[in-house]
Amino acid sequence: MTVRKNQAQLTADEKRRFVNALLALKRDGRYDSFVSTHNDFIMSDRDDSDRVGHRSPSFLPWHRRFLIQFEQALQSVDASVALPYWDWTTDRTPAASLWAPDFLGGTGRPRDGQVTDGAFASAGNGWRINVRVDGRDFLRRSLGSSGLQLPTKAEVDSVLAMPVYDAPPWNSASDGFRNHLEGWRGVNLHNRVHVWVGGHMATGASPNDPVFWLHHAYVDKLWTQWQSRHPNAPYLPAAGTRDVVDLHDTMRPWGNVTPAEMLDHTRYYTYDVAA
Q: Which residues bind other proteins (CB under 8 A)?
A: 36, 39-40, 42-44, 46-49, 55, 112-113, 131-136, 146, 148, 169, 171-173, 175, 183-188, 190-192, 194-195, 202-206, 252-253
Residue 5 or 185 having the CB closest to other proteins: 185
Residue 199 or 269 having the CB closest to other proteins: 199
Residue 148 or 161 having the CB closest to other proteins: 148
Q: Are the C-beta atoms of residues 173 and 231 closer than 8 Å to each other?
A: no
Residue 206 or 258 having the CB closest to other proteins: 206
Other Cβ atoms less than 10 A from the Cβ of 263: the count is 17
How far is CA 212 from its chain centroid? Answer: 5
Nearest to 143 by CA among 84, 190, 92, 179: 92
Closest approach of Cβ 248 to other proteins, in Å? Answer: 22
Closest approach of Cβ 209 to other proteins, in Å? Answer: 13
C-alpha–C-alpha distance, residues 184 and 267, integer Å = 30
C-alpha–C-alpha distance, residues 44 and 38, integer Å = 10
Residue 42 or 263 having the CB closest to other proteins: 42
C-alpha–C-alpha distance, residues 129 and 140, integer Å = 10
C-alpha–C-alpha distance, residues 193 and 198, integer Å = 9
Bin 96: left if φ > 0, else alpha if -120 < ψ < 50, else beta. Answer: beta
Closest approach of Cβ 113 to other proteins, in Å? Answer: 7
Closest approach of Cβ 26 to other proteins, in Å? Answer: 18
Closest approach of Cβ 36 to other proteins, in Å? Answer: 6
